[in-house]
A and B are shown apart, each in its own frame.
Chain A
Amino acid sequence: MNALLREARFLAKDRGAVLWIVLALLLSAAATGFGIAEVREQRQTIAALLAEDAKDRANAISKHDAWGDAAYDAFHLTYAPPSDFAFAALGQRDTAPWLHRVRMLSLESQIHEADTANADFGLIGRFDFAFLAAAVAPLLLILLLHDLRAGERVAGRHDWLVASAGTPRRLWLPRAGVRFGGLALALLVPFWIGAAIEGAGFGAALAASALVVGSLAAWWAIIAVVGRRNASPPALLAALVGIWLMLALLIPAAARAGIEAAVPVPDGAEILMLQRDAVNDAWDKPKAATMTPFLARHPEWRALGTVEKPFEWKWYYAFQQVGDQQAEPIVTAYRQGRLARDRAAGWAALLSPAALTERGLERLAGTDTRAMIAYEDRVRAFHARLRAFHYPLFFRDPPYDPVVLDGLPRYDPAP
Chain B
Amino acid sequence: MSAMWRIAREEWRLWARSRVVLLAGLIIAVLIVVTSVLTALRVTAEAERRADRQASAEATFFAQPDRHPHRMVHYGHYAFRTPPPLAAFDPGVDAVTGQSIFLEGHRQNTAMFADTRAGADLGGCAALTPANIYQLLLPLLLIVIGHGVVLRERESGTLAVLLAQGQSGRAIAGGKALALAGIAGVFLLPLAGLALFTAARAEASQASAAAALVAGYGLYLAVWCALVLAVSLWVRQRSVALGLLVLIWLLVALIVPRVAINTASAMIDAPGKIESDLVMLSQQRKLGDGHNAADPAFDALQKQVLEQYEAQSVEELPINWRGVVAGYSEQKLTAMMNAFAEDRMRREASQSRIVTWFGLASPTLAIGAASRTLAGTDLATHHRFLRESEGLRFDFVQGLNDLHAKALTYADDAARSTDSAAEQRTRVNAASWRLLDAFRFAPDPAEVRAARALLPLMVLLGWLVVLGGAIGAGARRLRP
**For A283, what are the chain B residues with a Cβ–Cβ distance below 8 Å?**
67, 71
Say whether, besides A56-B281, A126-B261, A237-B239, A260 and B416 are in contact (CB < 8 Å).
no
* Min distance, Cβ B110 to any Cβ of chain A, angstroms: 5
Known: A95-B116, A131-B124, A234-B242. A310 touches B417 (CB 8 A): yes
Q: In the bound complex, what is the Cα–Cα distance between A250 and B112 (angstroms)?
A: 29
How extensive is the interface on chain A, given as a class? 35 or more
Name B89-121 residues within 8 Å CB distance of A.
92-93, 95-100, 102, 109-114, 116-121
Q: Is B127 an interface residue, CB under 8 A from the partner?
A: yes
B127 touches A253 (CB 8 A): yes
Residue of A nearest to B368 (CB): A124
User: Quick check: which of B4-12, B72-80, B331-339 contacts chain A, the rest being far away?
Assistant: B72-80
Least CB separation from B92: chain A residue? A123
Q: How far is the CA of A386 from the CA of B1 in the complex (A)?
A: 80
In the bound assembly, the distance between CA atoms of A239 and B183 in angstroms comes to 20
Nearest residue, chain B, Cβ from A239: B20
Question: In the complex, are the beta carbons of B423 and A241 less than 8 A apart?
Answer: no
Stretch at the interface among B165-173, B209-217, B243-251, B431-439: B243-251
List of A residues within 8 angstroms of B279 by Cβ? 52
- Residues of chain A from 117 to 153 with CB closer than 8 A to chain B in the complex: 117-127, 130-131, 134-136, 139-140, 143, 147, 151
Decide yes or no whether A245 CB sits under 8 A from chain B: yes
Residues of A near B282 (CB, < 8 A) are: 52, 55-56, 59
Do B122 and A255 have beta carbons less than 8 Å apart?
A: yes
Cβ contact within 8 Å between A120 and B417:
no
Distance, CA A124 to CA B275, complexed state (A): 24
Question: Closest approach, in angstroms, between the C-beta of A252 and any C-beta of chain B?
Answer: 4
Chain A residues with Cβ below 8 Å from B100 are: 269, 272
Given the complex of chains A and B, what is the CA–CA distance between A124 and B355 in angstroms?
10
Interface status of A341 (Cβ within 8 A of chain B):
yes
Contact A52 B117 (CB under 8 A): no
Instruction: Return the chain A residue nearest B100 by Cβ.
Output: A269
Q: A56-B281, A245-B140, A269-B78 are in contact. Are A114 and B114 (CB under 8 A)?
A: yes
Which residues from A are CB-within-8-Å of B116? 95-96, 122
User: Assuming A127-B259, A136-B250, is B93 touching A120 (CB within 8 A)?
Assistant: yes
Is B404 an interface residue, CB under 8 A from the partner?
no
CA distance A255 to B355 in the complex (A): 30
Q: Is the CB of B75 within 8 A of A280?
A: yes
Nearest opposing residue in chain B for A262, CB measure: B120
State whether B261 touches A338 (Cβ < 8 A).
Answer: no
A280, A337, A342, A362: the one within 8 Å of B71 (CB): A280
> Whole-angstrom distance between the alpha carbons of A284 and B72 in the complex?
12
Residues on A with beta carbons closer than 8 Å to the beta carbon of B281 = 56
28 A–B pairs (Cβ distance < 8 Å), ordered by A = A38-B262, A38-B266, A45-B271, A114-B98, A115-B273, A117-B272, A118-B264, A118-B379, A119-B379, A120-B264, A120-B351, A122-B116, A123-B93, A126-B258, A237-B242, A238-B24, A250-B128, A255-B122, A256-B122, A267-B49, A269-B53, A269-B100, A273-B57, A310-B417, A310-B423, A345-B120, A355-B122, A355-B123
Q: A116-B272, A238-B144 are in contact. List 5 more A-B contacts (CB 8 A).
A: A101-B274, A125-B258, A140-B250, A241-B140, A358-B123
